A and B are shown apart, each in its own frame.
Chain A
Amino acid sequence: MENKKSVDLVTSLGIKALTLFATVKDMFYLLMQILHWLFIGPFKGKAAKRDSIFDQMVFVGVKSIVIVFFIAVFTGFVLAMQSAYQLQQLGAVIYVTGLVAVSITRELGPVLTALVVAGRVGAAITAQLGSMKVSEQIESLETMAINPVRFLVVPRFLALLIMMPALAAIADLSGILGGFFIGVTNLNINPYLYIEMTKEFLALKDIMTGLLKSAVFGVIICLVACYKGLNTKGGAEGVGKATTESVVTSFVLIIVADAILTAVFYFGNM
């Protein structure tokens, strides 16, 4: 009996591993298809339509500005207050300026933006593609000789790739603004000094690595959301399940990718 149980455990682990492997393989294949339609398709007169790219950019980017702004500003508030609480004991409150600027641009700006976009846009993409899949719309595109990856995925990919760094830049600015607000009103730092100190501490590479990260997060969100959407099965319930999975998977992958990228930048001396 004992033996049988352990065999079952091994079997189920094996099945899980194989499923995971297949998922990763399929996502990689999806990425290859996207790259094909991005770089080879246009030379065969089969580019993604500019209108739909623009529509998606508005949806992904413009309509996320407000929420990204609020989240970053409040994170800036909290960061400034929490670090001031510690730094006061050392009499080094002025270092709040650098701490807020560097942690927002390197880390929190891109990551929080990615989580917001994964929740707002990633979920919407999965739900939309998923319901198109279960109501025969994806199949109908195929029968019209219209490639669903080119028609539906590529515009979303481009929109996320372009708009994620733009949103992260907005988050960077708003976060620093939040810190500035607390620094000037609550910590009695001279506004001019705050700006000068921020400039002093902040290096271009801090901003660049952050923006690079956010572009990678954009690719992750697109791949996960589109993959989950296009592989939806089983009616309305299936769409709900796919959407949840899409958001959870995106969150996990974003955090993991963040750790890996940070390690690369850190050990690569960037």
Chain B
Amino acid sequence: MGSGKRIPTSLASPADSTMEFGETEASEASSATPPASPLTTDVVITHEDIDRAHDRERVFLARARRGIFSRFRLLWLLVGPGILVMLGENDGPSMLSYATTGSQFGIGFFIPFVVLTFFMAVVVQEMTVRLGSATHRGHAELIFDRFGPFWGWFSLVDLGIGNFLTLITEFIAIRAGLGFFGVPPWIAILGALAVLYLALVTHRYWTWERISLAAAAFNLVFIPVAFLARPDWSSVGHALMTWRPLPGGLTKSTLLILLADIGATVTPWMLFFQQSATVDKGLTKRDVRFGRIDTALGAALAATAAVATILATAPLFIHHMSAEHFQAAEFAQALEPLVGRFGAALFALGMVEAGMVACITISTSSAYAFGEVAHQPHSLNLPLRQGKSFYLVLFLCAAAAGAIVLIPGLPLVYVVLVVNVIAVLAMPPALVFLFMLANDREIMGDLVTPPLVNVLASSVVIFLTVAGILFGISVVAPNIFAFIGGK
């Protein structure tokens, strides 16, 4: 708190109302101004607070104005963490999982199934929006405070190991995607680290968020690739309506892909990232509705990109091309005769983007969690000097993961497999912590999960937890599912 300043002052909290989208100008203008219920205390103000206050001031101004343009401006100001977390989760391994799904099963059951998994992701991630807005605390911090350091450390170690290993797979995707264009691995890794560094040196949450969102928008390059693959749109419609066909029926490999696709949608880092980003952005209880829109919008975009990836690789299924063990560049090469050089290049670029955005968001989630637990300053609004430990953790995690990818002879395919398994294994405990926190009335107040939503949320948590456990078992003991179809 070196540059913080202690000010004896009358501190008034801005309104804690739960006013929603579309309220009147008069009521908004009145609640945009802090109420005159002062609390006399000594307050330490930091540069981080001032940067966040500037962001909030723009939100107050937009909220105080009437008209559709102001509504959209307000939405523009408040979206970010939800879109980033959803498009960030469309990372290298996830896109490979969707590509494998398309190449092995074509257009059918998995199109609506992937859409359903993103719906489940919205249910889970919405809880982090409410948690962050109600408590103004990050996820790791809340677990430590509410459940104690014993459970907190377990949770943090799960996250730290999972994040680091996942970061390795993101650099594998970047390396493989750029490899399609003949870029040497070391240039690919250094380039990715340079992009990460450039986003950070602004030491401003808003700028970092907009740069990351711009990068994340490239996840949608899978959409033109899907169009270039000329899918049969009537089959797509039929699949969405009937959840069919499912080639081969329910076999062991079908179940594995099914579980992998679930695991590709919700992972522990997403919970930690979105809650911490919600806090860093400065969202309050009044903004929860916009946080929900942000999350749903992110899920819609990510689901579109995921379905597009399945459609893009579906021709490989039609042409009976085995793609079970393909990596990013191999998919692009295999698709080239079907979607042309341009389509294949877009596919490879999409893989690079998937790895890059996930690299940014995952390393940031690690740094947030470290700062929250170590009680060190943790915000993307921190000047470099004040946030030394935060930025160091963020950058060093990424740099170390990038360096590992450059080790000659490393079995990268095997690394991706192990990483996915560990990420999914850590999911059930993370979901249970989340569910308990979101139902904790002492910290959530009126934002506690409502009973009806709780039924939905608990069903999703139970489903994802069981799926995570099954996926974990299936990978470590694959023969256990041999009774299903026997294949």
**Physical interaction between A and B:** no
Residues of B within 8 A of A (CB): none
